[in-house]
Every structure is written in C-alpha cells, then in structure tokens.
C-alpha cells in the first residue's frame, strides 16, 4: 500500500489508493481466522493472538485513512463499511471495549461517518461474546439508544431481529440471576412490536434463532421453574409455526438445548 503513494509517474497515477482499496485490505485483515496461533487471555477467555493482531492492524489502517483524509486526500475517506469491518474484527474476538471505543468515535458530533443498524448490531454482538458481567446492561442501553434515535427520525439505526437476538444472547450468556427471565421479556417485546404493525416492523419478525436463544437462557438458568419455561417456549414455537405460519419451526438445537 505504501508503494502506491511512492509511485508518482503519470503511468502509475491510476494506482492511487481509494477508499475501496483500503476497505479491501481492512476486510482481508478482519477475515483473518486461524486456529494455529498463540493464545492470549482476554475478558471473553482465550483468543488467538493472530486474530487479535489482525484486529489491531485493521484499526491501524483505519487511522491511516483518517490521517490521509485530514491531509486533503478525499479519495480515502473512511465510510460505514470501513468502520463496521474494523468493529467486526474486534467483535470476532469478543473485545467489546475496543468495539465500543470505535462506536463512540462514530457517535461524536463531528464524526465523518455516523453509525447505522449494522454498526450497533456488531457492537452488541461483541458485548454478548465478551460474557462480561455488565454486557447485558450495556447491550440493552444500546438497544434503547437505537429506538430513541429511530423515533427521532434516524431511520439508519432501526433495531431489527438481529439486534434483539444479540441483546437476548447477551443475557443467555450471562450467569446472573434473572437474566433468563429478561431474555424472555425481550423476545415478548420484539413479538409485540412486530404484531403492532407487521408492515412497519417486518424486520422484527421473530425466527427460530430468537426462540432458541431464550430456550438456551432458560436451560442454563438456575431458576426453579427454568425447565417449565423452556418447555413452554417450545410449545409456543410449535403453535406459532403450525397455526400461524410463522418461521419459528423448532430445529435440532431447540430440542437439545440444555442437554
């Protein structure tokens, strides 16, 4: 990449890097996946060192783009794909603090790029993977922020079924008392929103994954009625699938959760 800036002849001027080229490089780093690297300890457990280094390299390239753009090179202005890809690279390794840090950079009033639904979804997914004790609260705070932004007229951050699924998953992965019940409540909230206006909220239509995540939360719960709650959720899936034609048919995971 550096060599593309060094070359200055007319013949090579068409090789000048653009946002698309930088994004391709960042994506290559973000997609790094290996099981043979050294392991480091993070808040979410053991993480492949190569993947951690790849995430850091992706962010360094983002910072390089910002520096070049501020120096007057408008051809390399970072876009939403740039930021979302870097956040995803950290989400893959459960590094929620870094994912949140980059989201905060985007939320600044003078930011070049504003976050969208994908941005929030990836950060919430990072929180769920981190299994930090505070992750469910942070995930719900971001969900609430999305609802408020959407209601104020920002259609780019409308929560969808993926958003709710990630927030529910943050509760399912938590061992704190009451989290299974809260996951259940969030699913009910999503279903209510969808049913209140199936057209406007078509992207909140529940799916099998939504229910499976709640069932998994109950299966891991130490509540006295957790087994009954999980079975109740299974019966609801079967009813919604057979009688109402909803795409929530139980699958293999549904029947084996908690076993």
CB 146 within 8 A of CB 140: no
* 233/109: higher pLDDT: 233
pLDDT band per the 50, 70, 90 thresholds, residue 194 = very high
* 235/175: higher pLDDT: 235
Residue with tokens 């139980």: 250
CB 161 within 8 A of CB 210: yes
In this structure, what token pair is assigned to residue 191?
């279903």
pLDDT band per the 50, 70, 90 thresholds, residue 137 = very high
Q: What's the rounded Cα separation, in Å, for the pair 245 and 62?
A: 45
pLDDT band per the 50, 70, 90 thresholds, residue 134 = very high
Q: What is the mean pLDDT of the chain?
A: 86
In this structure, what token pair is assigned to residue 202?
């078509």
Q: What's the rounded Cα separation, in Å, for the pair 23 and 184?
A: 38
What average pLDDT does range 141-147 have in this prediction?
Answer: 97
Q: What's the rounded Cα separation, in Å, for the pair 161 and 15?
A: 41
Residues 6+ apart with CB under 8 A from 54: 29, 30, 32, 89
Residue 119, pLDDT > 90, answer: yes
Q: What ranges in 31-130 are assigned the alpha helix state H?
A: 49-70, 80-91, 96-107, 117-130
What average pLDDT does range 207-211 have in this prediction?
Answer: 93
What average pLDDT does range 218-234 have in this prediction?
Answer: 87
What are the pLDDT digits (tens) for 84-115? 999 999 998 889 999 999 999 998 866 789 99
* Confidence at residue 44, expressed as pLDDT on a 0 to 100 scale: 46
CB 233 within 8 A of CB 218: yes
In this structure, what token pair is assigned to residue 84?
């979302």
Residue 10, pLDDT > 70, answer: no
Residue 5, pLDDT > 80, answer: no
Q: What's the rounded Cα separation, in Å, for the pair 177 and 182?
A: 10
Most confident of 2-11, 64-73, 248-257: 64-73
Phi, psi angle pair for 114, to nearest 5°: -95, 145
pLDDT band per the 50, 70, 90 thresholds, residue 38 = very low
CB 39 within 8 A of CB 51: no
The domain segmentation of the chain, as residue ranges, is 1-135, 160-259
Q: What's the rounded Cα separation, in Å, for the pair 145 and 166?
A: 15
Percent of the chain, pLDDT > 70?
85
CB 119 within 8 A of CB 106: yes
């Amino acid at each position: 990449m550096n060599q593309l800036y060094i070359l200055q002849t007319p013949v090579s001027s068409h090789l000048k890097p653009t946002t698309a080229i930088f994004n391709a490089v960042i994506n290559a780093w973000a997609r790094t996946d290996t099981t043979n690297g050294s392991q480091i300890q993070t808040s979410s457990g053991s993480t492949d060192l190569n993947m951690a280094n790849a995430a850091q390299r992706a962010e360094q390239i983002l910072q390089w783009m910002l520096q070049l753009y501020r120096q007057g090179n408008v051809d390399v202005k970072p876009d939403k794909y740039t930021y979302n890809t870097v956040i995803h690279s950290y989400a893959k390794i459960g590094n929620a603090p870094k994912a949140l840090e980059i989201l905060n950079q985007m939320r600044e009033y003078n930011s070049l790029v504003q976050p969208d639904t994908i941005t929030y979804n990836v950060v919430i997914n990072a929180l769920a993977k981190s299994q930090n004790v505070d992750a469910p609260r942070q995930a719900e705070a971001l969900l609430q922020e999305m609802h408020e932004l959407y209601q104020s007229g920002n259609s780019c951050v409308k929560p969808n079924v993926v958003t709710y699924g990630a927030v529910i998953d943050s509760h399912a992965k938590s061992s704190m008392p009451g989290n299974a019940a809260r996951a259940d409540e969030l699913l009910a909230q999503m279903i209510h929103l969808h049913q209140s206006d199936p057209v406007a909220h078509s992207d909140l239509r529940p799916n099998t994954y939504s229910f499976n995540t709640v069932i998994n939360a109950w299966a891991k719960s130490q509540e006295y009625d957790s087994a009954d709650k999980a079975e109740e959720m299974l019966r609801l899936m079967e009813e919604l699938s057979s009688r109402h034609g909803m795409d929530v048919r139980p699958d293999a995971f549904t029947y084996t959760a908690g076993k």
